[in-house]
């Protein structure tokens, strides 16, 4: 295949994780290519968001006039996820419910060390990429239906 197909899978994964395996399936990539570039797309996004997030936190704190609300609805939900699951749970839930962007920023907001974020996100991304790809590639009958027509 060509790099444009791989880039499409990585870009789709950056926006919503499940979109990567769907894109790989629709472009006719092998399941191994789809898993690899889905994983790579999430890890590039997580790395970028962690780097950008650190800078953004410093920049916003510099210009903020008043302290943010401590007990907002969003803050309570984030704390509930953190106390219940920790970084392992956030990493496991990122491909399912959160986007790679949201999961990495949530982990960063709890001041988890960067190597730990990357490690658990990498494991989670690889496992969920394999699961999603296996499930989606079982839908071969759909592709065969449209190709035969």
Retrieve residue 104's tokens.
Answer: 């990495």
Query: If you average pLDDT over residues 10-26, what whole number do you get?
Result: 91
Cα–Cα distance measured from residue 3 to residue 11, given in angstroms and rounded to the nearest whole number: 12
Cα–Cα distance measured from residue 82 to residue 76, given in angstroms and rounded to the nearest whole number: 10
**Could you tell me where the DSSP H helices lie in 64-113?**
73-93, 100-109
Which pLDDT score is estimated for 56? 78
Cα–Cα distance measured from residue 40 to residue 13, given in angstroms and rounded to the nearest whole number: 9
Residue for token pair 């950056």:
14
pLDDT digits (tens, 9 = 90+) for 39-65: 999 999 999 999 888 787 777 777 777
Range with the poorest average pLDDT among 1-5, 9-13, 22-26, 133-137: 1-5
Cα–Cα distance measured from residue 121 to residue 106, given in angstroms and rounded to the nearest whole number: 12
Which pLDDT score is estimated for 6? 92
- H or E segment at 27? none
What are the phi and psi torsion angles at 110 (to 5°)?
Answer: -95, 15
Cα–Cα distance measured from residue 119 to residue 31, given in angstroms and rounded to the nearest whole number: 23
Retrieve residue 31's tokens.
Answer: 């399941």
Which pLDDT score is estimated for 34? 93
Which pLDDT score is estimated for 11? 93
């Amino acid at each position: 295949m060509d790099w444009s197909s791989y880039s499409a899978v990585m870009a789709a994964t950056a926006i919503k994780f499940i979109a990567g395996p769907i894109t790989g399936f629709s472009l006719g990539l092998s399941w191994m290519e789809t898993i690899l570039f889905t994983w790579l797309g999430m890890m590039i996004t997580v790395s970028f968001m962690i780097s950008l997030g650190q800078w953004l936190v410093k920049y916003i704190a510099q210009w903020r006039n008043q302290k943010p609300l401590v007990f907002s609805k969003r803050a309570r939900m984030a704390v509930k996820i953190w106390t219940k699951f920790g970084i392992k749970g956030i990493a496991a839930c990122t491909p399912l419910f959160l986007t790679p962007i949201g999961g990495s920023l949530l982990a960063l907001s709890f001041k988890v060390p960067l190597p730990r974020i990357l490690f658990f996100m990498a494991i989670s991304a690889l496992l969920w990429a394999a699961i999603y790809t296996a499930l989606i590639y079982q839908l071969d009958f759909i592709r065969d239906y449209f190709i035969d027509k």
